[in-house]
Amino acid sequence: MALASALSMLHCRRRLARALLVSVTALTGSAVSAEFPPGWVNGERLASPAAGREQWLTTGGDAGKSHYSRLARINKENVAQLGLAWEYHTGTNRGLEATPIVVDGVMYTSGVAGRVYALDAVTGGEIWTFTPAVDMQVNRAACCDMVNRGVAVWQGKVYVAALDGMLYALNAASGEVLWQADTIVDRGRGYSSTGAPQVAGKVVVIGNAGAESDVRGYVTAYDLDTGAEVWRFYTVPAGPGSAAESAAMREALATWDPNSRWDIGGGGTVWDGMAYDAELDLIYIGVGNGGPYPQSIRSPAGGANLYLASIVALRASTGEVAWHYQQTPGDRWDYTATQPMVLTDLEIDGETVPVLMQAPKNGFFYILDRRNGKLLSAQKFARTNWASHVDLETGLPAIDEAAADYSSGPKIVFPATVGAHNWHPMAWDPERQLIYMSTAEMGNLIYELDAPDVPRRARRLNHGAALIFSHDLEAVFPYLPPHITAAVEQLPEWQDKEGLKGRSMLKAFDPLTGEERWSVPTSGWWDRSGVLATAGGVVFTGSDTGHFRAFDADSGELLLELEVGTSMLAAPMTYEVDGEQYVAIMAAWGGGGWSYPHPTSAQYRYGNAGRILAFRLGGGPVPIPEPLPPLGPVPEPPAQVGDAEDIARGQALFMANCAICHSNQERSQAPDLRRMSPGSHAAFELIVMQGLLSAGGMPSWDDVFDHDDLRALHAYLIDLQAEYAKRKNSGDESDSSGAPTVISTF
Ligand code: CA
């Protein structure tokens, strides 16, 4: 680690030299503020009304993370005149999910695995960059690409959590590392980190990801200036034999079976949504799903399993629980409560109430009184069958066990694990009192896989259930056991074939009444993006097809469609410098569970080179990337190294360990192993066992596979490639679409 951090420092110093040059040239421009030092965000600035205007001070823009701007220079009338102001190439080709921050004309944002970029917000000129030295072994458990959802900027420092859970404080002027803290308690488990840190009072708080990967979730608070650990809050108990960490853990323990699978960790990771209320000095964290999924394995006697799938309010100075609200008691469906939260004030029954709003995976839009956690509203915003409604008195969902309990057989459960809404930030327009968000109407087939005594798989996926989502479930049937398909055919959800096809839409939604104001379909259920709303009456969003769009906030009418040639998932944001308003977005595809492009995806045609795009009125045309070259013939694999038994065993090993990244589809992000070169075959052992390609994200597996396993894996891949080469090289174009129907099987 010492060497790694020394290299990282060296890298930064080189950048610093360049940064100084850039700063000198910028002195005459607009990017330097005389009033504040670089990266100067504090409580006063965040609380001032101007925070929502020229600046974009948090990933959500303001203290409440509304993703709404009071800027109106770009508005309904003129938005069609938007063109490119500048673009910046990140030099990466994985997913970009962060919303940039802009402070006094400087943009700070994060990219692949926790890289940080500081750019002149007027020109896109690079001021400094930071590339953390990431331990790529972590990538073995990172479920959803090597993404990062943003930085925190506070009093001259930029905070970022790298994929391997290392938290960095950087000098906002130079990118120099001021301190770093290892936030991972046990590197023998499947922790990673992808969320943006949250500043809360005197501390900066970060959680982790990997609820399915053999972990026990927690968040940790560090001193803003020194990086010293101040407190840690575990989201689930360690088990009855362990010393309970706190009153909160004793309370939580009573909601679990004493014979729970404590060895697998319980899950409950806080991988995204957090928010801070300075007045109440409370930090709100959103807790993830249970691990493994089936409660019959995780906590066989049932129980609520606190604090899974909950919003928990912690005192920022101590980490003590002030209140909690559990959305999905005893979660069995991967229903995280980690989605972004918005803090605002609402008029309810004549009273102004400080509220917290969230649209989590489970399909209900929650409004809580953020002083005490009281549930004020829980309107459905997408198709759900796991619960009919939420009782406002008890706060409990009315769970439909007949529809959703899969302990005795397969079920088709709505929403799917992809969520009715996911991490893609929603926007709250306080003038129109509307939420704008990207939603999905989709169910997935789920059934239990293993007996309760299934062994723990250290640092790997421990689902305990098969989860299958597809727009054509019938096409998946040949791959499923006959007793499963027979049972599925009896389900009421199965009879409605149209309803089984997933779809996604951008939706304007009244959170208090549940009324949908308007909605616009996207290109498919996978096509979901973050949203920006503005006082100009415009809603901005990107798309997988590579189109940047603007809609009328009142009617949903399409006002602008700019083809940029890069798939987008992240939320746009806006800022103003010297009287010019800009709208910016990070562009590149990535994310959860399916690492290949759909044929309508810009990624399929143009690749996935990461870009930051900024637009302004009267800007220029947007350059479209060069189209990808044709795929060409499939290289012939070497001679087979195993027999039929090896191939079958290799396939099982591959599905259990490798398939989450290697979908083996055309133009997929992780290499399509059906197109391995003779060189890759020759180096197969070096790559898989010794980490030859670890710098590119391929970890080593020598602690999981032995040499017999390696041979079986190779035998399977040779067989796969031989079959594919035979088909493709004889001119069969049948699966050149790269659009399989099986999305995720574990
Ligand atoms: Ca999950």
At 414, list the tokens.
Answer: 């709505």
Tell whether the model's pLDDT for residue 90 goes beyond 80: yes
Query: Distance from the CA of 637 to the center of ligand 1, in angstroms?
Result: 36
Tell whether the model's pLDDT for residue 101 goes beyond 80: yes
At 508, list the tokens.
Answer: 């304007």
Nearest to 459 by CA among 656, 235, 652, 210: 210
Query: Distance from the CA of 289 to the center of ligand 1, in angstroms?
Result: 5
Phi–psi pair at 76, nearest 5 degrees: -50, -40
Mean pLDDT for all residues in the chain: 91
Separation between Cα atoms, residue 477 and residue 589, nearest integer Å: 29
Nearest to 331 by CA among 452, 427, 413: 413
Cα atoms found within 13 Å of the Cα of residue 577, Cβ hemisphere only: 24
Separation between Cα atoms, residue 94 and residue 607, nearest integer Å: 10
Task: Convert the pLDDT of each residue in 682-697 to its tens digit.
Answer: 999 999 999 999 888 8
Separation between Cα atoms, residue 274 and residue 243, nearest integer Å: 28
Confidence of residue 52 (pLDDT cuts 50, 70, 90): low
Q: What is the pLDDT of residue 32?
A: 45
Query: Distance from the CA of 334 to the center of ligand 1, in angstroms?
Result: 5
Query: Distance from the CA of 654 to the center of ligand 1, in angstroms?
Result: 21
Q: Are 741 and 464 in contact (CB under 8 A)?
A: no
Quote the strand ranges of 524-600, DSSP E: 531-534, 538-541, 547-552, 558-563, 573-577, 580-587
At 516, list the tokens.
Answer: 């949908």
Q: What is the pLDDT of residue 19?
A: 38
Q: Is 707 exposed, middle or buried (0-12, 13-18, 19+ CB in 10 A)?
A: exposed
Task: Convert the pLDDT of each residue in 392-420 to its tens digit.
Answer: 999 999 999 999 999 989 999 999 999 99
Tell whether the model's pLDDT for residue 593 goes beyond 70: no
3-class SS string, 291-310: ECCCHHHHCCCCCCCCCCCE
Element (H, E) at 352: strand 351-358
Tell whether the model's pLDDT for residue 663 goes beyond 90: no
Quote the strand ranges of 227-317, DSSP E: 229-234, 266-267, 274-277, 282-286, 290-291, 310-315
Tell whether the model's pLDDT for residue 496 goes beyond 70: yes
Query: Distance from the CA of 192 to the center of ligand 1, in angstroms?
Result: 13
Separation between Cα atoms, residue 385 and residue 379, nearest integer Å: 14
Query: Distance from the CA of 113 to the center of ligand 1, in angstroms?
Result: 19
Tell whether the model's pLDDT for residue 737 goes beyond 50: no
Task: Convert the pLDDT of each residue in 717-730 to its tens digit.
Answer: 999 999 999 988 88
Query: Distance from the CA of 291 to the center of ligand 1, in angstroms?
Result: 8
Query: Distance from the CA of 417 to the center of ligand 1, in angstroms?
Result: 7
Confidence of residue 28 (pLDDT cuts 50, 70, 90): very low
Q: Which residues are CB-neighbours of 377 under 8 A, at least 6 positions away? A: 365, 366, 367, 392, 511, 512
Sign of the dihedral through C-alpha 595, 190, 273, 183: negative
C-alpha dihedral, 723 to 725 to 728 to 729, nearest 10°: -130
Query: Distance from the CA of 380 to the center of ligand 1, in angstroms?
Result: 21
Separation between Cα atoms, residue 39 and residue 159, nearest integer Å: 11
Q: Which residues are CB-neighbours of 2 under 8 A, at least 6 positions away? A: none
Nearest to 551 by CA among 442, 427, 420: 427
The residue-averaged pLDDT of 579-596 equals 86
Query: Distance from the CA of 396 to the center of ligand 1, in angstroms?
Result: 21
Task: Convert the pLDDT of each residue in 289-320 to its tens digit.
Answer: 999 999 999 999 999 999 999 999 999 999 99
Tell whether the model's pLDDT for residue 208 goes beyond 60: yes
Q: What is the pLDDT of residue 340?
A: 98
Q: What is the pLDDT of residue 49?
A: 67
The residue-averaged pLDDT of 235-248 equals 87
The residue-averaged pLDDT of 624-645 equals 95
Measuring CA to CA, how many Å separate 729 from each of 454, 485, 666, 733? 43, 34, 14, 9
Query: Distance from the CA of 212 to the center of ligand 1, in angstroms?
Result: 6
Q: How many residues does the chain have?
A: 746
Query: Distance from the CA of 530 to the center of ligand 1, in angstroms?
Result: 19
Q: Is the peptide bond before 292 cis (omega within 30 degrees of 0)?
A: yes
Q: Are 100 and 575 in contact (CB under 8 A)?
A: no
Query: Distance from the CA of 288 to the center of ligand 1, in angstroms?
Result: 7
Tell whether the model's pLDDT for residue 106 goes beyond 60: yes
Tell whether the model's pLDDT for residue 259 goes beyond 60: yes
What domains can you pick out in the chain, each with its CATH number? 43-617 (2.140.10.10), 644-745 (1.10.760.10)
Owner of token pair 């940064």: 19
Query: Distance from the CA of 223 to the center of ligand 1, in angstroms?
Result: 29
- Sheet harboring 229-234: ordered strands across? 198-200, 203-206, 218-223, 229-234
Choosing from 334, 429, 544, 646, the catalytic residue is 334
**Amino acid of residue 402:** A
Owner of token pair 């205007």: 53
Confidence of residue 544 (pLDDT cuts 50, 70, 90): very high
Element (H, E) at 508: strand 503-509
Q: Is the peptide bond before 307 cis (omega within 30 degrees of 0)?
A: yes
Query: Distance from the CA of 597 to the center of ligand 1, in angstroms?
Result: 21
Task: Convert the pLDDT of each residue in 520-534 to its tens digit.
Answer: 999 998 899 999 999
Q: What is the pLDDT of residue 245?
A: 73
Q: Is 471 exposed, middle or buried (0-12, 13-18, 19+ CB in 10 A)?
A: middle
Query: Distance from the CA of 550 to the center of ligand 1, in angstroms?
Result: 31
Separation between Cα atoms, residue 339 and residue 490, nearest integer Å: 34
Q: Which residues are CB-neighbours of 217 under 8 A, at least 6 positions away? A: 207, 208, 211, 234, 235, 236, 265, 266, 267, 268, 269, 270, 287, 288
Query: Distance from the CA of 738 to the center of ligand 1, in angstroms?
Result: 25
Nearest to 414 by CA among 491, 481, 480: 491
Q: Are 507 and 443 in contact (CB under 8 A)?
A: no
Q: Specify the 3-state DSSP secondary structure of 482.
A: helix
Q: What is the pLDDT of residue 18?
A: 37
Distance of CA 104 to the CA centre of its chain: 28
8-state DSSP, 155: T
The residue-averaged pLDDT of 51-78 equals 93
Task: Convert the pLDDT of each residue in 446-495 to its tens digit.
Answer: 999 866 678 898 888 888 888 887 777 887 788 788 999 999 999 999 99
What is the percent of the chain with per-residue pLDDT over 70, rounded to a whole number?
Answer: 92
Query: Distance from the CA of 488 to the center of ligand 1, in angstroms?
Result: 24
Q: What is the pLDDT of residue 232?
A: 97
Confidence of residue 78 (pLDDT cuts 50, 70, 90): very high
Q: Are 217 and 208 in contact (CB under 8 A)?
A: yes
Tell whether the model's pLDDT for residue 746 goes beyond 60: no
Q: What is the pLDDT of residue 597?
A: 82
Query: Distance from the CA of 305 to the center of ligand 1, in angstroms?
Result: 16
Is 334 among the catalytic positions? yes
Separation between Cα atoms, residue 534 and residue 528, nearest integer Å: 19
pTM above 0.95, yes or no: no
Q: Specify the 3-state DSSP secondary structure of 441.
A: strand
